[in-house]
A = this chain, B = another copy of it.
C-alpha cells in the first residue's frame, strides 16, 4: 500500500465559516491523496497559550511524518514570520508568535526555517487570510515531498521554549499556575506537569476555593467535591464528578491559582 500523508489542522477559525473548508480545498487541490485531520478549530480567538497546549497534547499521537498547520495568528498581514519547524517525526507550520513554545521545549527540533519562498504560495496573497494563501499550499507541497529547505532561510525564532510548571517538594512550596484550557466536561487543565506521586501532597487555591481532594480516575472521586487529578496529558487538572468544575468553581480560561506543597 502507498503511504498516506497526514495533515493536522489547528486553528481558531471555528467551523461555522468557510475558512476551514477553504484550507482543505486548497490542500486537496495540490495534494489529493492527503488525509486531513481536524485537531481543533475552536481555540478561543487568538489565544496562543491554549493553542500551544492543544498542539503539544496532541501531536505525539499522530502518525510519523504528519504535518501540523497551526493558525492562530493575530499578526496576520504584518511582518511576523511564518515558521516551519522539524523534529525527528513531524513538521510544524505556525506563525512565530509562541504557538510552538512547548514543542520547542519538549521535542528535539532539528531545523527551523522562515517560510518565504512564494513559489509555494497562492498566486495572490491576501492580507487577511494567509491560511488559504500560504499555510495550506505550503503544507500540501510538503505532503507531496517538498523539502523544508526550499521554503526559506534557517532562522532563530522569536518564540522561546517554555516549560510547564513542575512542582517538587524539594524546592519551593508555593507555585503560581494558570488555567490554560477548559475541556467540554468542564475539567480545568493547568500548566502544571505533575508527577502522579505528588498529587497527595498538594493543594490548590483558586478564587476563594481550596481544592485538596484528589482522585486517580473520574468515577472514583468523592461526589460533589472538586478534586485534583493528573489528566491524560500529564498535566494537573481540577475536576468535579459528573459536573463541570469550571461552573462549580466559577473559573474562566486563563484564571490564575496558587499551588501549595503541604508539609509532611
Contact = CB atoms under 8 A, between A and B. Distances in A.
Contact of A217 (B37, B54, B76): B76
Interface stretch (A10-18, A99-107, A254-262): A10-18
Contacts of A75: 219
Interface string A26-41: 1011001101111111
Interface stretch (A60-68, A163-171, A200-208): A60-68
A195 interface: no
A16 B183 contact: yes
Given A78-B219, A128-B231, A220-B77, A17 B32 contact: no
A54 B184 CA distance: 19
Contacts of A28: 4, 6, 35, 37, 62-63
Contacts of A6: 28, 32
Contact of A25 (B17, B26, B58): B58
A26 B219 contact: no
B25 A63 contact: yes
A61 B131 CA distance: 12
A102 B36 CA distance: 28
Interface string A194-225: 00000000000000000000001111100000
A29 to B, nearest CB: 5
A74 to B, nearest CB: 6
Given A184-B12, A232-B126, A77 B219 contact: yes
Of residues A58, A74, A232, which shows the largest number of chain B Cβ atoms within 10 Å of its Cβ?
Answer: A232
Given A21-B39, A40-B16, A229 B183 contact: no
8 contacts: A16-B42, A25-B63, A26-B61, A28-B63, A29-B61, A74-B219, A77-B220, A78-B217
